[in-house]
Structure 1
C-alpha cells in the first residue's frame, strides 16, 4: 500500500511554523540564560508599547485581541515587575502601561537573542535566502483582499 502524499502547507501555516521556530528558540535561550520565560503574547506586548505608555485598550487593538486577553498578558508582566501602570495625563479614567527598567533589560536581551537566532537561520538557509525573506516580509501588502474561492 502506498502512502498518501502529504499536501503542501499553505502560506499561513508556513509562516506560523516559522514564527513558532523563532518563539521556541527565544524561549529556550532566555530560559537557559536564567530569565523568566514569557509567552509569545507577552513578548509581543513589549514591541507594541509606546515609550510614554499605552492603554490596555490600545494594546488590545494593536495585538488584534480582546481587552480581556490583553489585560491578562499585561497582568502577568506587571506581576513580574517588567511593566508598570501609571496615570494617563490626558485622561483621568485611563492608565498607561509602561516598561520598567527591568523590563527594558529583559527586552534588550530578547532583542539581542533574536539577532543571534536570525544569524543562525541565515547560516542554515543561506544569507541570500534570509535577506530575501526579510525583504519579502517587509514589502507593503496593502489591505487584506476579499476573494471568492473558485
Structure 2
C-alpha cells in the first residue's frame, strides 16, 4: 500500500495549527486568557484609529456574524473597545485597549520565541526560506483546469 502525499493546503493548515497550539499553550502557561485563532488575527487586522466589524469580516474572509462573535469575546475580556465612528453615525469602530496592547505585545514576543524553536527544529536556513517563500507576491489566485 502506498502512502498518499499530503497536499499543500493540508500541510499549511497543519503548520498553522502547530503555531496556534504553541501560542495558546504558552499564553495559558503565562497566565493569559487563551484566545481563539480568529480572535488573535483580529489584533493584526485592526487599524490604529479603529476598524468596523464589517471591514474586519472582509479582512478575515468570514461573515459579519463570525467577526462580530470574535470581537464580542474580546470586548468582554477588555482587550477591545467600541467607539463611535466619526465618519458615520451608523457605524462603530473597534479599537484595541491598553490591556489589549499589552496582551498583543506578549503574544508577538511569544511567537518570536516559537519561531526560534521552529528554526532550531527544522534548521535556520529552512525557516528563513519558509518565511521568504510565504512573503513573496503570489498575484491573483489562478483559475486552472485539472489535466
| TM-score band, normalised by shorter chain | over 0.9
1:56 aligns with 2:53: yes
Cross-structure match for 2:117? 120
1:70 paired residue among 48, 67, 79: 67
- TM-score, normalization by structure 2: 0.99
Cross-structure match for 2:102? 105
Cross-structure match for 2:43? 46
2:10 paired residue among 10, 13, 21: 13
Cross-structure match for 2:92? 95
- In structure 1, C-alpha distance between the alignment counterparts of 2:83 and 2:2, rounded to whole Å: 56
Deviations 1:79-136 (A, max 9, x none): 0000000000111110000000000000000000000000000000111000000000
Cross-structure match for 1:131? 128
- In structure 1, C-alpha distance between the alignment counterparts of 2:111 and 2:80, rounded to whole Å: 21
Deviations 1:46-100 (A, max 9, x none): 0000000000000000000000000000000000000000000111110000000
Unaligned runs of 5+ in 2: none
- In structure 2, C-alpha distance between the alignment counterparts of 1:74 and 1:92, rounded to whole Å: 20
Query: Which aligned segments of 4 or more residues in structure 1 are displaced greater than 3 angstroms?
Result: none
Q: How many matched pairs? A: 147
